[in-house]
Structure 1
Amino acid sequence: MNGPALYERSSAPASWRVALPHSTAAVPVARALVRTALTEQDHSADRDTAELLTAELVANAVEHTCAGTPIELVVRLLPNGCRVEVHDGDPEPPGDLTRPSPGMPDPWQEHGRGLLLLRTLSSSCGHRPTESGKAVWFHLSPLPRQRRPHS
């Protein structure tokens, strides 16, 4: 799984799994995959929000895991929304995704807002252990028809 991104569309019509490089180059690759998946399938989840939250999860995986460990993006387009997971090799759970941390992030700091964005903008989010580490995920509900952007 090290090396260039491997694009693999699964046999299910709305599911993708991609091995990402363990570098900042993974972020634009992941954003592009999510946007392409939502656009090609004409899915009703908010593309901008999906891209933003995916970028946060991938950036966190790159920053907080050991170099060389695999990172994988899983995108599932479901009738009730979009689910994105980022798998990494670190079994340590991320900060609390279900409750706000005490205090607000420092507005002058470069880091510290990713989990806040995830909790605020997603319909739900969390993490789960995997055989090789963990998966951090979010779910976006479909947008109401009148709020969907025109392609």
Structure 2
Amino acid sequence: MPETWDYTLHIPNDPRAVTVCRRTLRLILTLHGLIGLVDTAELLAAELVSNAVRHTKGPAALRVRRTPEGVVWIGAWDTDPAPPDPPLPLEEVGESEDGRGLGLVSACAQVWGWQPSARFGDRGKYVWCELAAA
């Protein structure tokens, strides 16, 4: 059975938090021996956290955990309880920066979704994805 763990990084509504989250996630995965997931996980976390910071006014959080099944779960929490817009296929987005985030998540993760959550005392939601650890 794989080692399980759960980390949460609370972040302000600040675009610089995306870089802090990426680097923190890289450190977590490296220290747990999951270096093979780092590049994809960083991309996914950056897209989820940047959406949380860009589309809401309140604080956010990055949560990363490893399940008993060995799956790495990455979620970004924000203060907007509304569901995210459905992802656009990457070929429709083209070179545009807008609208590609959840398309990348959908293309790179085994599964993704969202759920309402009041975990940190405010109403909000998690947008999350899963990566199978090799």
TM-score normalised by L of structure 1: 0.76
The answer to whether residue 9 in structure 2 is matched with residue 23 in structure 1 is no
Match of 2:51 among 46, 55, 60: 60
Q: Report the aligned-residue RMSD.
A: 2.0
Counterparts in 2 of 1:42 and 1:24: CA distance versus 1, 3 Å: same
- Letter paired with 1:47: V
- Letter paired with 1:116: G
- Letter paired with 2:117: T
Q: Corresponding residue for 2:72?
A: 82
1:103 deviates by 8.5
Counterparts in 2 of 1:36 and 1:104: CA distance versus 1, 3 Å: same
Distance, in Å, in 2 between the alignment partners of 1:103 and 1:109 is: 10
Say whether the 8 Å CA contact 1:123–1:141 is kept in structure 2.
Answer: yes
- Letter paired with 1:86: A
Unaligned runs of 5+ in 1: 1-11, 144-151
Q: What SS is found at the alignment partner of 1:76?
A: strand
Distance, in Å, in 2 between the alignment partners of 1:64 and 1:20 is: 14
Match of 2:97 among 93, 110, 113: 110
Q: What SS is found at the alignment partner of 2:92?
A: coil
Say whether the 8 Å CA contact 2:116–2:126 is kept in structure 1.
Answer: yes
Say whether the 8 Å CA contact 2:4–2:65 is kept in structure 1.
Answer: no
Matched-pair identity in %: 36
- Number of aligned pairs? 127
Say whether the 8 Å CA contact 2:90–2:104 is kept in structure 1.
Answer: no
Distance, in Å, in 2 between the alignment partners of 1:102 and 1:48 is: 21
Distance, in Å, in 1 between the alignment partners of 2:83 and 2:36 is: 26
- Letter paired with 1:14: W
Q: What SS is found at the alignment partner of 1:91?
A: coil
Q: Corresponding residue for 1:130?
A: 117
- Letter paired with 1:121: C
Q: Corresponding residue for 2:107?
A: 120
- Letter paired with 2:56: T
Query: Which of these two proteins has the greater Rg computed from alpha carbons?
Result: 1
Say whether the 8 Å CA contact 1:123–1:140 is kept in structure 2.
Answer: yes
Q: What SS is found at the alignment partner of 1:96?
A: coil
Distance, in Å, in 1 between the alignment partners of 2:91 and 2:59 is: 32
Say whether the 8 Å CA contact 1:105–1:113 is kept in structure 2.
Answer: no
Distance, in Å, in 2 between the alignment partners of 1:102 and 1:51 is: 20
